[in-house]
Chain A
Amino acid sequence: DAMVIQNPRYQVTQFGKPVTLSCSQTLNHNVMYWYQQKSSQAPKLLFHYYDKDFNNEADTPDNFQSRRPNTSFCFLDIRSPGLGDAAMYLCATSRDGNQPQHFGDGTRLSIL
């Protein structure tokens, strides 16, 4: 089945130690999004790629970076995780921005 796959499902890292989360899709969608969701809060858009065009939300911390080496993969890099970055990170895709977004299962990030 066509899917949005996030790895790992659970990630534990140390305070200040860089971490990378990955997302892959078999849907061949043009747009890929990264959201951050903290407990009992709404998902918050961090950034998105439309093809190779990167769009950063104004309030996304500089500590967060993203890469999209090809259509299928997108990565979220957190350069120096702080305790406040502990959250569920959700990847979503959309065919062309005119179709609904479909989410992966998420990666739950814990910071020690």
Chain B
Amino acid sequence: QKEVEQNSGPLSVPEGAIASLNCTYSDRGSQSFFWYRQYSGKSPELIMSIYSNGDKEDGRFTAQLNKASQYVSLLIRDSQPSDSATYLCAAGQGSGGGADGLTFGKGTHLIIQP
């Protein structure tokens, strides 16, 4: 059974600091990985996608992938109170998630303290 594991938190980080979110996945066949941000009562919003080992940067966000360790992470630099949300890690079969859908973790609740 495919599983994506995340620490549910809450993870509390001071404003301006780096928030580090982690995720592991069980299916070695997974090829695509995504981080979604979800505010309470809202739908998931795509933050980052990553397909190859290494780092991928987009603004204040950096996604890291290590397929050998089956590990994905998200770094948020210069954390802002508006970053407070639940962050969902997701894995998919194909290069874009595949037509078979994504397997989501339960999410990490991030709190940025002003």
Contacts and interface: CB of A to CB of B under 8 A. Distances in A.
A44 B103 CA distance: 7
Q: Which of B95, B99, B104, B107 has the most CB of A within 10 A?
A: B99
A103 B37 CA distance: 11
Given A40-B106, A42-B106, A97 B99 contact: yes
Interface string B23-40: 000000000001010000
Interface residues of A, number: 29
A84 to B, nearest CB: 18
Interface string A47-89: 0101000010100000000000000000000000000000010
Given A103-B43, A104-B43, 7 more contacts: A43-B88, A45-B103, A48-B101, A94-B97, A98-B95, A103-B44, A106-B42
Interface string A27-54: 0000101010000111111001010000
Given A42-B4, A43-B88, A106-B42, A31 B99 contact: yes
Closest 8 CB pairs of A and B: A97-B99, A98-B96, A42-B104, A45-B101, A99-B96, A103-B43, A106-B43, A50-B99
Interface of A: 31, 33, 35, 40-45, 48, 50, 55, 57, 88, 90, 94-106, 108
B99 to A, nearest CB: 3
A67 to B, nearest CB: 18
B46 interface: yes
Contacts of A88: 43
